[in-house]
Amino acid sequence: MLNQIAAIIAMNVKSLPRRANMSVAAVAAIAAVVAVLLGFLAMANGLQQTISGSGSDDFAIILRANSSSELNSTLTKDQQDLIALAPGFARGPGGRPLVSRESYVIVDGIKKSSDTKANIPLRGMSPEGVALRSGVRVTEGRMFEAGLNELVVGAGVLREFAGFEMGKEIRFGRSVWRVVGVFEAPGSVFESELWADIKVVQGQFNRGASVQTMRAKLAVPGDISTPAAYIENEPRLNADIKTERTYFAGQSQGTQQLVTLGWALGIAMALGSLSGALNTMYASVQARTRDIATLRTLGFGGFATFVGTVVESLVLAAIGGLIGGVVAFLFLDGITASTLSGSFTQVVFAFDLSPQLLADSVVLALVIGAVGGIFPAWRASRLPLTAAFGR
């Protein structure tokens, strides 16, 4: 029987080009479904990777209690000094705790893609701040110098926004800043930021001595229990401490909606294209009525005919799925975009088409192919032998 199945599969698949006209519709429909699904999933995946993927267990972030994002948090000078004294933070040379005081100001930039104003975060940080982030690398120029109106620009900002090139002078309100460096922090939100010295930012934006957040290196990676207990027991503090990983994970909830929307649309469209696959396969069975009946007369079994037709449908679906995947990969993978994140600022991200997503969408295509093949195959396997001689 295996021989029979193999023979029929080979025959069906080899004769596909002869029925190209009617197969093209099913293939194209499935390709379009896969491309749309992949578009949404790649967008959600890229955004998710950027917002939450970069979190590390080595560092902790301290915000005012109940602040949903950095923008909403404030820590006064007294609170900062108390937090800096907390036990459980790693210490640098001279025994000073490795902490950075950071302020977060939103400034306007001009988006290259739409030529409109958009929010960019300007982060003031202590000199220690750079070392308190993993994977940051200055690719051009140098870091800002304390006390000067100097900016270093994230590679994402440079890509998506106009006017932040090396050496440029930039005005925010009355203050003038000079771009002295460009940094990369692959795949993280930091690439969407501008960095400057904390003291200068506080001065230029009338922030006094208050900051939004503090950042520290943990003595034991992932363990915030010691500083958390200290903060809890200090009545003058009203703050939350989280590892960087936990904090970032909490910021990316919105991306789940994109995934849901992508699947909802993908499945709705898949149902529509399923009709197309069924039409094509019924027509294919009908066009081969005489061939099938002849084979059956020659002694080929109904089951072999059934499998042959299902495989034909699966091959069509796989071709459609691959075309959709290749189109999505060529046109969507790696393109960068930016959108408004939870903290009201632009986050620059790249569409990311992972092998897992490709596999998921090919599975969807094959499901369409399988369902689209089963019913026509059933009909094929039940064709009466006399059909070979009719017409």
Partner 1 sequence: MTDFSLVLRNLTRKPLRLGLTLFAIFMAFLILTVLIAFQLGFDRAVEATSEERLVTISKINFTVNLPIGHVSKIRATEHVEQVAYADWFGGYFKEPSEPLVMFAVSPEAYLELYDELIMDDDARAAFLQNKQAMVMGEGLMREYGFKVGDRVPMRSNIFQHRDGGNTWELDLVGTFRADDPAVDTRYIIFHHDNFNESRTFGRDTVGWVIIKADNPANNDAVMAAIDAQFANSPNETSTSTEKAFQRAFVAQIGNIGLIIMSVVGAALFVILMIVGNAMMMAIRERTGEIAVFKALGFRSGRIFAMVLGESLMLSLIGGLAGLAVGAVLVGVAASAIPPLAFMVVSTEVMVVTLAVMLALGVVTGFFPARTAMNTTIITAFQKH
> Residues in the site for partner 1, rule: CB under 8 A?
21-22, 24-26, 28-29, 32-33, 35-36, 39, 66-68, 71-72, 74, 105-108, 111, 113-114, 116-119, 172-174, 205-206, 210, 265, 268-269, 271-273, 275-276, 278-280, 282-283, 337-340, 344, 346
Distance CA(223)–CA(279), nearest Å, equals 60
Please state the closest distance from residue 92 (CB atom) to partner 1, in A.
31
Residue 84: how many CB atoms within 10 A of its CB?
16
Q: Which is nearer to partner 1, 4 or 338 (CB)?
A: 338
Q: Which is nearer to partner 1, 25 or 219 (CB)?
A: 25
Please state the closest distance from residue 338 (CB atom) to partner 1, in A.
7
Residue 290: how many CB atoms within 10 A of its CB?
14
Please state the closest distance from residue 71 (CB atom) to partner 1, in A.
7
Side-chain-side CA neighbours of residue 68 (13 Å): 7
Please state the closest distance from residue 155 (CB atom) to partner 1, in A.
19
Provide the β-strand partners of residue 242: 61
Please state the closest distance from residue 68 (CB atom) to partner 1, in A.
5
Distance CA(343)–CA(212), nearest Å, equals 12
Distance CA(391)–CA(137), nearest Å, equals 76
Q: Which residues contact 139 (CB under 8 A, 6 or more apart)?
A: 155, 182, 183, 184
Between the CA of residue 54 and those of 135, 189, 276, 326, what are the distances in Å? Answer: 9, 8, 43, 28
Please state the closest distance from residue 12 (CB atom) to partner 1, in A.
19
Q: Which is nearer to partner 1, 97 or 121 (CB)?
A: 121
Q: Which is nearer to partner 1, 218 or 285 (CB)?
A: 285
Please state the closest distance from residue 116 (CB atom) to partner 1, in A.
4
Distance CA(61)–CA(70), nearest Å, equals 10
Q: Which is nearer to partner 1, 229 or 265 (CB)?
A: 265
Q: Which is nearer to partner 1, 105 or 218 (CB)?
A: 105
Q: Which is nearer to partner 1, 24 or 162 (CB)?
A: 24
Q: Which is nearer to partner 1, 205 or 226 (CB)?
A: 205
Distance CA(264)–CA(230), nearest Å, equals 47
HEC assignment per residue over 68-83: CCHHHCCECHHHHHHH
Among residues 213, 264, 227, 279, the alpha carbon closest in space to that of 79 is found at 213
Q: Are 308 and 11 in contact (CB under 8 A)?
A: yes
Q: Are 277 and 368 in contact (CB under 8 A)?
A: yes
What single-letter amino acid sits at 164?
A: F
Among residues 236, 218, 215, 214, the alpha carbon closest in space to that of 227 is found at 218
Q: Which is nearer to partner 1, 12 or 346 (CB)?
A: 346
Please state the closest distance from residue 274 (CB atom) to partner 1, in A.
8
Residue 267: how many CB atoms within 10 A of its CB?
14
Please state the closest distance from residue 236 (CB atom) to partner 1, in A.
13
Among residues 38, 23, 32, 2, the alpha carbon closest in space to that of 373 is found at 23
Please state the closest distance from residue 135 (CB atom) to partner 1, in A.
26
Q: Which is nearer to partner 1, 224 or 348 (CB)?
A: 348
Residue 95: how many CB atoms within 10 A of its CB?
6
